């Protein structure tokens, strides 16, 4: 994976995304309350799979949650697995 890939955070759309060669990877979340986010959907197109894009999105999303002292609900199966592999 290219370390220069930048993850964008769109607060209004409640998502983290990357755009590579015209393909978009996405992690969507919902604000449950003032202290909790629900990471409910992660998508990486076939063209970007196997390059660590989902992990890059998850890392950025968890960094945001940590920086803002927010709890995370891992509704997305990828996020649940990521949490088990990367306890924080």
Domain count, the chain: 1
Q: What is the pLDDT of residue 3?
A: 61
Q: What is the pLDDT of residue 52?
A: 95
Does some domain include residue 19? Answer: yes
pTM over 0.85: yes
Task: For residue 51, give the H/E element and its range.
Answer: none
Average pLDDT over residues 18-28: 97
Does some domain include residue 3? Answer: no
Average model confidence (pLDDT) across the chain: 95
Q: What is the pLDDT of residue 4?
A: 82
Q: What is the pLDDT of residue 1?
A: 54
What is the tens place of the pLDDT at every residue in 45-69? 999 999 999 999 999 999 999 999 9
Beta strands across the sheet bearing 71-73: 8-10, 15-20, 23-33, 36-43, 71-73
Can you give the residue range of the structural domain that contains 77? 8-85
The number of angstroms, rounded, from the C-alpha of 84 to the middle of its chain's C-alpha atoms is 15
Measured between its terminal Cα atoms, the distance across the chain in Å is: 23
């Amino acid at each position: 994976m290219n370390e220069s890939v930048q993850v964008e955070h769109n607060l209004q759309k409640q998502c983290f995304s990357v755009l590579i060669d015209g393909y978009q990877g996405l992690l969507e979340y919902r604000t449950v309350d003032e202290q909790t986010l629900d990471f409910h959907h992660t998508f990486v197109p076939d063209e970007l799979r196997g390059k660590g894009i989902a992990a890059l999105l998850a890392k950025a999303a968890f960094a945001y949650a940590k920086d803002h002292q927010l709890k995370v609900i891992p509704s997305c199966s990828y996020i649940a697995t990521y949490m088990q592999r990367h306890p924080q």
